[in-house]
Chain A
Amino acid sequence: MANAGSERVAGAHTSPFAAALTEQLASSGGIVFIYRCLNHLLESWNLRGAIAVIEDPAFGRQVFNAGRRPLDPGWARNVALRQPPGVYTDPAVVDVADELATAHNLCTVAFKLDQLHYQSMHDALTGLYNRRGFDEHLTQAVSRSQRYGWGFSLVLIDLNRFKSINDRLGHPGGDAVLRAVGDRLRRSLRGGDVAGRIGGDEFALLLPNEGSEAVPPVLRRLQVEVGDDDPPEIELSVGVASCPEEAQTVEALYQLADQRLYESKRL
């Protein structure tokens, strides 16, 4: 026989509101879900505001304001900074407290999943994809190429003499250079392009609908800003392989691009 607690939880999850939220969590997940959940609250009860405050030992306190609105001084900022975890509405809706608790639990789950997924796929230093995240995109691109004939280029990038930069600036300075290069790469890409840091000073780009000549000139030489009076000029070695013209598998693309990268290093 189920205890009172489990009956209450089961009951909450079968309410139309909770069912709608659970369906949205399954379809969108993460931050997208949290903002949809808060919008759902606003629309359901014609409220002025809704804020989720969630907390977890792993990710600390996180506050989400409906509509991703900035927190204005007053009710919103007070709730955000001073109230314990929960979902808060303006005005407070007392008779749906159980549903707000359900929304809060789902928001917590959503953010935890989102952050875990993000961390598993991204490089903490640059915010670009890590090797795992980049390879996932690359594998999908190869599949699309095989199925639909959509071409793309894999670009491998290596920073020349990065060790000497590390020696000159120290590891914090080296990290700053890597972050700056990551920022520059990200900003030079178009929508649909993918960038990753796949090793210590190795970066990779996936450029849909581009051939081997696709490397943007800006990538050949980067002057990065690292808060130094004499900022280092970063020279890059680049190797490009295009799919499906030159290689048709992930392994073959890496091999060809890598070979060309080392050829360009020797020049």
Chain B
Amino acid sequence: MTDTLDRLDLELRCLPGVLAVGVADSEHGESVVVQVVITAEHASSEVRDHIRRITRAHIDKPLVLEVVVDGAPGAPPPNAEPTEA
């Protein structure tokens, strides 16, 4: 499992604008939560789709994908957008 997560982690970080990757089990362990932090300028629908595809390809369990967009300087605090993947 760790190898898979290491690959997922590195592959996501190779996408433009990805700053951080986090992984955790959901509260009751029924699904995996993957958090991807990305800069606002790179948070296009294409990159989000790419994030979803890469994550789906590595995680077999039910998945909750949380994309956190880091705003540009002066923008409001980062917002999280949990989506079922």
Interface size on B, residues (CB 8 A): 29
Contact among B13, B23, B57 for A62, CB-based, below 8 A: B13
Contact B10 A187 (CB under 8 A): no
Q: B interface, by DSSP: helix, strand, loop or mixed? A: mixed
Q: How far is the CA of A186 from the CA of B11 in the complex (A)?
A: 14
Asked whether any CB of chain B lies closer than 8 Å to the CB of A70, the reply is: yes
C-beta contact mask, A54-78 vs B, less than 8 Å → 1, else 0?
Answer: 0000011111110011110100010
Contact present for B19 and A118 (CB under 8 Å): no
CB distance from A250 to the nearest CB of B (A): 24
Known: A63-B19, A77-B78. A71 touches B35 (CB 8 A): yes
**Chain B 46-71: CB-based contact to A (< 8 A → 1; otherwise 0):** 00011001101100000000101010
Given the complex, which residues of A lie within 8 Å of B77, measured CB to CB? Answer: 73
Which residue of the partner chain A has the closest CB to B80?
Answer: A73
Contact B19 A81 (CB under 8 A): yes
Query: Bound state CA distance, A144 and B44, in angstroms?
Result: 44
- The contact sample of 18 A-B pairs, CB cut-off 8 A, is A32-B2, A59-B13, A62-B19, A63-B37, A65-B20, A68-B9, A69-B22, A70-B24, A70-B33, A70-B66, A77-B68, A80-B20, A81-B70, A118-B14, A122-B11, A179-B50, A183-B53, A183-B56
Q: Which residues of B contact A127 (CB under 8 A)?
A: 11, 54, 57
| Measured CA separation A186–B7 after assembly (Å) | 13
A119 contacts chain B at the CB level, 8 A cutoff: yes
Question: B85 contacts the other chain (Cβ, under 8 Å)?
Answer: no
**Contact flags (1/0) for A113-147 with B, using CB distance below 8 Å?**
01100110010100100000000000000000000
In the bound complex, do residue B6 and residue A80 qualify as a contact, i.e. CB atoms below 8 Å apart?
A: no
Q: Measured between alpha carbons, how far is A199 from B57 in the docked complex, in Å? A: 21
> A70's closest neighbor in chain B, by CB?
B22
A to B contact number (C-beta, < 8 Å): 71
Q: Which residues of B contact A (CB under 8 A)?
A: 2, 5-6, 9-11, 13-14, 17, 19-24, 33, 35, 37, 49-50, 53-54, 56-57, 66, 68, 70, 77-78
Q: Does A49 contact B (CB under 8 A)?
A: no
Interface magnitude class on chain A:
20 to 34
Residues on B with beta carbons closer than 8 Å to the beta carbon of A174: none
Q: A61-B19, A65-B22 are in contact. Are A71 and B9 (CB under 8 A)?
A: no
Given A62-B13, A187-B56: A80 in contact with B19 (beta carbons within 8 A): yes
A31, B5: Cα distance in complex, Å: 10
Interface pair A115/B19, CB less than 8 Å apart: no
- Determine the chain B residues whose CB is within 8 A of the CB of A187 once the complex forms: 56-57
Q: Which residues of A contact B22 (CB under 8 A)?
A: 65, 68-71
Residues of B within 8 A of A118 (CB): 10-11, 14
Inter-subunit contact B19/A186 (CB<8 Å): no
Docked-complex contact B5 and A68, CB < 8 angstroms: yes
Q: Which of A30, A65, A127, A183 has the most CB of B within 10 A?
A: A127
With both chains docked as a complex, state the minimum distance between the C-beta of B53 and any C-beta of chain A, in angstroms: 5
